[in-house]
Amino acid sequence: MISSATINANTKMPPLMYGTAWKKEHTSNLVEMAISSGFRGIDTACQPKHYNEAGVGEALARLKVQGITREELFIQTKFTPLSGQDPARIPYDPNASLDIQVAQSFSTSQKNLRTEYVDSLVLHSPLFPYVNLLKVWRAMEVVHQCHGAHQIGISNCYDLDLLQKLYNDAEVKPAVVQNRFYAESGYDVEIRQWCNDVGIIYQSFWSLTANPHILESEIVCAIARKYVKTQAQIFYRFISHNGIIPLIGSTSKHHIDEDLAIFTFQLDIDEIAAISSLLEP
């Protein structure tokens, strides 16, 4: 079993999340394979443009028959604002007020996922002006207060000032920040430090896709040879050592097993420092 991180909402979050974006009709089979292999966290969204949320629900139903209960799993979904939706497949009334949109989106997620609650409900991206962001956050707080979501969080937020303002104004504090882990944002060094200071869990996505220069570096390759692991395993282990929970979207059983095996070894301080140097401007 893999250890879990305790988050603000006093909920246990697995140290790896299985990402379901762009899986389309293969979503249910891939989620079933990932969970059966050992993953316990699933990330999805109520955004038909990029996610098949109902496919996740189908996988959960199959897993239940196999003896893996809902309570064993950490399910995270998202409210996606209109700007991120396919106009032809919006999962809520686009003409409704923002609070109603959140409520309708969450109701759709409950039906898709076949569950009364999710462990984490994330705002897919900030809204502007700020008053709209706060309206959506208040609606997500209602979902939390009604026990629909054990925690709430935000994704694609690369502005520390904005994140801190939301944190200060929120009645229910964000428990998770999920961002793309890439050089263009400076790897969110300041955001990650602040999240660590206030007890917010930082999740990363595009961790491999955005960083081929790191994976192919001599530093990572040499460490991979030392531990007889792949470069991807070394980088994921480095991410984990830094307190980050990565989203992993592997589509083969072999790669999924490799992902789960990153906790069978530890990098030493010098190796972590060496890889860290690759993240510097």
Q: What is the pLDDT of residues 205-225, one digit of tens each?
A: 999 999 999 999 999 999 999
Please list the residues that pair with 123 across neighbouring strands.
Answer: 79, 154
Confidence of residue 11 (pLDDT cuts 50, 70, 90): low
Instruction: Among 3.60.40.10, 3.20.20.100, 2.60.40.10, 2.40.50.660, name the CATH number for the domain at 7-211+244-250.
Output: 3.20.20.100
Rounded to whole angstroms, the Cα distance separating 124 from 29 reads 24
Say how far apart CA 10 and CA 122 lie, in whole Å.
Answer: 17
Helix axes 231-241, 253-260, angle to 10 degrees: 40
pLDDT of residue 278 exceeding 80 = yes
DSSP-derived 3-state class of residue 247? strand
Flag whether pLDDT at 192 surpasses 60. yes
Task: Give residue 27's pLDDT.
Answer: 98
**pTM of the complete model:** 0.96
Q: Token pair of 203, please?
A: 């999740």
> Helices 98-113 and 130-145, interaxial angle, to 10°?
40
Give the residue carrying structure tokens 């589509």.
251
Q: Model confidence at 72, in pLDDT bands (50, 70, 90)?
A: very high
pLDDT-based confidence at residue 281 (cuts at 50, 70, 90): confident
